[in-house]
Amino acid sequence: MDYQFKEIEKKWQGFWAQNQTFKAEATSDKPKFYVLDMFPYPSGAGLHVGHPLGYIASDIFSRYKRLKGFNVLHPMGYDSFGLPAEQYAIQTGQHPAVTTTANIATYRRQLDQIGFSFDWSREVRTSEPGYYKWTQWIFMLLFNSWYNLETDRAEDITTLIEKFNAAGNADVKAVCDEDVVSFMPSDWATMTPEEKQIILLKYRLTYLRESTVNWCAALGTVLANDEVKEGYSERGGHPVEQKKMMQWSMRISAYAERLLQGLNTIDWPEPVKEMQRNWIGKSVGASVKFPIAENEGFIEVFTTRVDTIFGVSFLVLAPEHELVSTLTTAAQADAVNGYIAQTKKKSELDRMSDTKTVSGAFTGSYVLNPITGEKVQLWIADYVLAGYGTGAVMGVPSGDQRDWLFAKHFGLPVVQILDSQTNIAEQADPTKEGKYINSGFITGMTYAEAIPAINSWLEAQNLGKAKINYRMRDAIFGRQRYWGEPIPVYFKDGLPYLIKEEELPLLLPEVDKYLPTESGEPPLGRAESWSYEDQYTYELSTMPGWAGSSWYWYRYMDAMNPDRFASEEAVSYWKDVDLYIGGSEHATGHLLYSRFWNKFLKDMGYVNEEEPFKKLINQGMILGRSNLVYRVIEADGKATNTLVSHGLKNQYKTTALHVDVNIVDNEILDIEKFKLFRPEFADAEFILENGHYICGVEVEKMSKSLYNVVNPDVLIENYGADTLRMYEMFLGPLEQSKPWNTNGIEGVFKFLRKFWRLFHNEAWEFNVSDAEPSKAELKTLHKIIKKVQDDIERFSFNTSVSSFMIAVNELTDLKSNNKQVLENLVVVLASYAPHICEELWQLLGNPAGSLSYAKYPVFVPEYLVEDEFSYPISFNGKTRLNLNISLSLDIPAVEQYVLADEQVQKYLEGKAPKKMIVVKGRIVNIVI
RNA sequence: GCUCAGAUGGUGGAACUGGUAGACACGCAGGACUUAAAAUCCUGUGACCUUAAAAGUCGUGCGGGUUCGAUUCCCGCUCUGAGUACCA
């Protein structure tokens, strides 16, 4: 029979489902291997051709690892809480759970027909109570924990209470809020439970904090920075304002150093690691207190160049700094208030684009240089950010270009501090070279000497100390939305308390509408008779999108467990994810939060690995490839009913229109289908070239509105899943972004037919030979065995596809139908094109389905050994001819053989070669 | 501005450790089969020059360098894409 992909694929997909072929074993003598895909948000649009790219790669890898004898865990699930379902619910009144379930069904159908080897018995959905029970449980664990800097790990809150009982909080080294006041054990003993709770909240790893958020009144929710565009919400275009709100936060900053150090232990793409390093933003420096001249107070400054403190000629506060109002003198009040007002008016965008203009205002107050006692002016300026460091900066114009510009603009002094600084009249020189001048007790020292000298001096005077600063802020953990995990907290007298563990999961209540209440409370405020013990109000915000995805890889290990997020046995068997594939857009969000929760769970003894994802691969984005037609415009700007082919469009004035890529083949427009697609052009005139209408091409993102979405269902219908899988890989390196172009898919389809034909005779009857394989056949086979295993292990899937084509071409040329060779080839190809291989495997006489757990053939190098090599002979690096020379000849013998050749003599033109390079089995180069 | 990634035929791409640049595939051209078309098969296909054939010159974004030999290593530049945004 000819290659009937539809029947074959249906048959084997049914077989795998029925026999649970890909169910991972809970325990096994085999080594474990955990292959994970970033699970999708099930959107209403379904999958387009770009989504499965990473899944195909991970599936090939999983199938390959099974053939290599591993117990493979390869699960899939859905990140099913999210804003789009909620938006849709607001518009239609349909419960998000209903639309989500329907969307998941579509995803499942689409995934199934691609032939993935997922273990569906472990499927997770973050919006199911059985799953989010454990997300809530982790939240409770965080609430009941604090970060002990002495042990450098999170601990149960009871160990903190013990410390308070024994010695108060003075000696406690913990990550906590900045405003904790110190107390004695006797104070602690006399506190009310409420007072104790207030203090403990300042230490808990999840805590309430007043934060400035992007509040969108129309949506009734808080938006992330990237959901806000120029002061309006990206979705809907509603105005967004800055608002202070009490919000749940996660003390991720406690883990900053460990998150940074851990990057050195994992095999991730360097750009992702770099992004995380920037996000964490560690800077080593010192914190310095500048006494205020007018009162007893201090202004604290963070600096990475404490060695330049003798060059300080002014101090700058952020306009939002809390001391600005008290330190502004009456004479300067107008200037300062005017400047603050002006800063507020500037949009985020203005402040960003306008980095060259120098602006600021003098407060009228002075501070004292803590070392020299010199009086320097105190300014405010918007180049200092309230949110970073202490919101105050010491101005050293000779060493910092921004300070230099500021000083020049406002006529403040520029003091040279290093003898190696040059040209400071023109610009700042940030050098660390040379010796200090004009610098008090560090004059004459080098940079390396000065830093510790100043730090110890400051510390002795209690005016500062060495400090490490991180840019990373604690993560806000509440959203004013409906479709997310409820936070398992209730309020009593304004203080938050956890519900009891046995009361989990706290179910998402039903509401009449998915909108905020009239009083501006989140949608959960609409739930009727929803209170804790019928009297206390629950927390009304829900968890953010990243909550459910920050631990889901553990749930897959033991997805059905009702008593624990995953059993201890499962966690210690599967350990961590060996290979994680997903998009780089999650570089600083999901991947950072997941590492944080993983480290926390390890501290608390629930998991065993410090890092969750050993190896990470980012698949590139598949871009859309749009097709355009060109409508002729008359001189007066009126659109005509004439369309001109791409090659002739420069002879006319035209506008481009997007046309559905599915009615274009190799840029040739199907005019009849086009007339149906755009009925207004039913009578249009087409100006053709060579009898065809040729469309223009543009690469942009894949989107319905650009008519460039290619649906995998259509390709599977026409060519089958095996062709789709191989073609997606054939497109290019996995990690590279590339436009989708269906044009080449025929080549892959032809390859599979050609492969099928190797097993069949002219009449399409199955026909293989039991003969001993020839040397040539074995060579082809072992070449591909080696090539594919090398390629898969370095994630170079595209090159394997070419090699398969070469192998099948070679066997076709050899007219080979050797059973032994073909059976091995089936196993090698099985990870890429599993359906056709299962079918052929069975036709070869093997038990149905046993291919998935067959043995990957062993590569035997001897079959590739050649006794001759066709040496390229080059002269001065230019190849002129090839000579077949025995590989048994040693280098001098090769030289002799080459020089004796008639053609070589011709190129030498009688001259003696100056030099001869012979690389055995590679090349001969003659220098003349 | 800074950081990172990339640039190879008409197109997607290959060349893994410095060793025959353009594998494989698409497209295109020509041919076979066919009443015809589709499908299939065969041949050719980087550019230039020349040709009956052969040979030759150039060629991996641009300019230099190292080397017997560079798509590959080094220096400088251009362009494209991604991330980031006054970080003290």
The secondary structure of A657-689 as a DSSP string is: EEE-GGGEETTEE-HHHHHHHSGGGTT-EEE-B
Q: Which nucleotide is nearest to A744 (CA to C1')?
A: B26
Q: Which residue is nearest to nucleotide B23 (CA to C1')?
A: A802
Summarised one tens digit per residue, pLDDT across range A84-131 is: 898 889 888 899 999 999 999 999 999 999 999 999 999 999 999 999
Where exactly does CATH 3.10.20.590 map onto chain A?
Answer: 866-927
Q: Please say if the pLDDT value at position A347 is more than 80.
A: no
β A639-644/A685-687 pair status: parallel
Answer for the pair A643, A632: CB distance below 8 angstroms, yes or no: yes
CATH assignment, A866-927: 3.10.20.590
Complex ipTM:
0.93
Cα four-point dihedral sign A398, A403, A407, A412 = negative
Q: Which nucleotide is nearest to A808 (CA to C1')?
A: B24
What Å value separates CA A32 and C1' B72? 37
Token couple for A246: 């009490």
Instruction: Tell me which amino acid residue A577 is.
Output: V
Least confident of A276-285, A483-492, A571-580, A681-690: A681-690
What is the average per-residue pLDDT within A214-219? 72
pLDDT category, A686, cuts 50, 70, 90?
Answer: confident
Residues in chain A: 928
What Å value separates CA A790 and C1' B16? 9
Summarised one tens digit per residue, pLDDT across range A396-452 is: 998 888 888 889 889 998 889 988 888 888 888 888 888 898 888 999 999 989 999
Answer for the pair A628, A663: CB distance below 8 angstroms, yes or no: no
Backbone angles phi, psi at A737, to 5 degrees: -75, 140
Residues 6+ apart with CB under 8 A from A169: A163, A180, A182, A183, A188, A199
Answer for the pair A104, A81: CB distance below 8 angstroms, yes or no: no
Residue-level pLDDT at A227: 63
> What's the topology of domain A22-127+546-618?
Rossmann fold (3.40.50)
Q: Which residue is nearest to nucleotide B12 (CA to C1')?
A: A731
What is the average per-residue pLDDT within A585-591? 87
Q: Which nucleotide is nearest to A391 (CA to C1')?
A: B88
- Inter-helix orientation angle A775-793/A52-67, to 10°: 120
Nucleotides of B under 7 A from a protein CB: 3-5, 11-16, 19-21, 23-28, 40-41, 56-57, 68-70, 81-88
Distance of CA A249 to the CA centre of its chain: 22
Least confident of A224-233, A571-580, A668-677, A753-762: A224-233
Q: How many CB atoms lie within 10 A of CB A158?
A: 11
Answer for the pair A795, A734: CB distance below 8 angstroms, yes or no: yes
DSSP assignment string, A740-795: --GGGHHHHHHHHHHHHHHTB-TTS-B--B-SPPPHHHHHHHHHHHHHHHHHHHTT
Answer for the pair A169, A182: CB distance below 8 angstroms, yes or no: yes
Residue-level pLDDT at A235: 64
What is the average per-residue pLDDT within A857-885? 85
What is the average per-residue pLDDT within A522-545? 91
- Inter-helix orientation angle A721-730/A745-758, to 10°: 120
Q: Which residue is nearest to nucleotide B4 (CA to C1')?
A: A271
Least confident of A276-285, A485-494, A515-524, A852-861: A515-524
What Å value separates CA A907 and C1' B48? 23
State whether residue A649 is helix, strand or coil: helix
A147-151, A469-473, A638-642, range with greatest mean pLDDT: A147-151
What Å value separates CA A696 and C1' B62? 29
Answer for the pair A97, A53: CB distance below 8 angstroms, yes or no: no
Q: Which nucleotide is nearest to A878 (CA to C1')?
A: B69
What Å value separates CA A918 and C1' B75? 30
How much is the mean pLDDT over chain A?
Answer: 89
What Å value separates CA A421 and C1' B14? 52
Answer for the pair A358, A326: CB distance below 8 angstroms, yes or no: no
Where exactly does CATH 3.90.740.10 map onto chain A?
Answer: 282-470
β A32-37/A579-582 pair status: parallel
What Å value separates CA A893 and C1' B69? 21
What is the average per-residue pLDDT within A228-242? 68
Q: Please say if the pLDDT value at position A352 is more than 80.
A: no
pLDDT category, A351, cuts 50, 70, 90?
Answer: low
What Å value separates CA A928 and C1' B21? 23
β A696-700/A685-687 pair status: unpaired
> What's the topology of domain A741-860?
Isoleucyl-tRNA Synthetase; Domain 1 (1.10.730)
Q: CA A732 to CA A406: how far, in whole Å? A: 51
Residue-level pLDDT at A50: 86
Residue-level pLDDT at A453: 92
DSSP assignment string, A890-915: -HHHHHHHHHT-HHHHHHHTTPPPSE
The answer to the question of whether A704 is labelled as a binding residue is yes
Residue-level pLDDT at A258: 93
Q: Which residue is nearest to nucleotide B28 (CA to C1')?
A: A666
Q: CA A129 to CA A138: how far, in whole Å? A: 14
What is the average per-residue pLDDT within A583-607? 92
- Inter-helix orientation angle A775-793/A797-813, to 10°: 170
Answer for the pair A920, A893: CB distance below 8 angstroms, yes or no: no
Q: Which residue is nearest to nucleotide B27 (CA to C1')?
A: A666
Q: CA A724 to CA A714: how far, in whole Å? A: 10
Token couple for A633: 């415009």
What Å value separates CA A813 and C1' B20? 24
Q: Please say if the pLDDT value at position A665 is more than 80.
A: no
Q: Which nucleotide is nearest to A384 (CA to C1')?
A: B86
What is the average per-residue pLDDT within A23-29? 90
Q: Does CATH place domain A282-470 in 3.40.50.460?
A: no
Residue-level pLDDT at A420: 85
What is the average per-residue pLDDT within A892-898? 86
Q: Which residue is nearest to nucleotide B69 (CA to C1')?
A: A877
Residue-level pLDDT at A565: 96
Q: What distances in angstroms separate CA A154 from CA A150, A161, A411, one per listed residue? A: 10, 14, 51
Residue-level pLDDT at A228: 63
Q: Which residue is nearest to nucleotide B86 (CA to C1')?
A: A383
A127-131, A474-478, A633-637, A810-814, range with greatest mean pLDDT: A127-131
Least confident of A27-36, A236-245, A591-600, A913-922: A236-245
Summarised one tens digit per residue, pLDDT across range A748-764 is: 999 999 999 999 988 88
Which residue from A161, A158, A249, A137 is spatially nearest to A499, judged by alpha carbons? A137
Answer for the pair A654, A634: CB distance below 8 angstroms, yes or no: no
Q: CA A133 to CA A730: how far, in whole Å? A: 42
> pLDDT above 90 covers what percent of chain A?
51
Answer for the pair A65, A793: CB distance below 8 angstroms, yes or no: no
Residue-level pLDDT at A225: 61
Cα four-point dihedral sign A278, A281, A284, A288 = positive
Q: Which nucleotide is nearest to A809 (CA to C1')?
A: B24
Q: Please say if the pLDDT value at position A349 is more than 50.
A: no
Which residue from A620, A504, A512, A616 is spatially nearest to A565, judged by alpha carbons? A504
Which residue from A408, A196, A431 is spatially nearest to A313, judged by alpha carbons? A408
Q: What distances in angstroms separate CA A426 from CA A354, A399, A406, A437, A561, one per listed residue? A: 22, 12, 13, 19, 69
Which residue from A222, A176, A219 is spatially nearest to A200, judged by alpha carbons? A176
What Å value separates CA A109 and C1' B47? 50
CA distance from start to end of chain A: 61
Q: Please say if the pLDDT value at position A226 is more than 60.
A: no
Token couple for A802: 């070419």
Q: Which nucleotide is nearest to A470 (CA to C1')?
A: B87
Q: Which nucleotide is nearest to A927 (CA to C1')?
A: B68
Backbone angles phi, psi at A914, to 5 degrees: -70, -35
Q: CA A710 to CA A747: how far, in whole Å? A: 18
Which residue from A697, A689, A701 is spatially nearest to A659, judged by alpha carbons? A697
What is the average per-residue pLDDT within A860-888? 84
Summarised one tens digit per residue, pLDDT across range A788-827 is: 999 999 999 999 999 999 999 999 988 899 999 999 999 9
Max distance between CA atoms of chain A, in angstroms, equals: 107
Q: What distances in angstroms separate CA A442 from CA A346, A453, A460, one per listed residue? A: 42, 7, 16
Q: Please say if the pLDDT value at position A519 is more than 90.
A: no
Q: Which helix (H) or strand (E) holds A916?
A: strand A915-919
Backbone angles phi, psi at A124, to 5 degrees: -125, 150
Q: Please say if the pLDDT value at position A909 is more than 80.
A: no
Where exactly does CATH 1.10.730.10 map onto chain A?
Answer: 741-860
> pLDDT above 70 covers what percent of chain A?
97
- 3-class DSSP string for A210-274: EEEEEEECCCCEEECHHHEECCEECCCCCECEEEEEEEEEECHHHHHHHHHHHHHHCECCHHHHH
Q: CA A741 to CA A82: how far, in whole Å? A: 31
Q: Please say if the pLDDT value at position A233 is more than 90.
A: no
A82-91, A404-413, A510-519, A779-788, range with greatest mean pLDDT: A779-788
Q: Please say if the pLDDT value at position A867 is more than 90.
A: no
Q: Please say if the pLDDT value at position A148 is more than 90.
A: yes
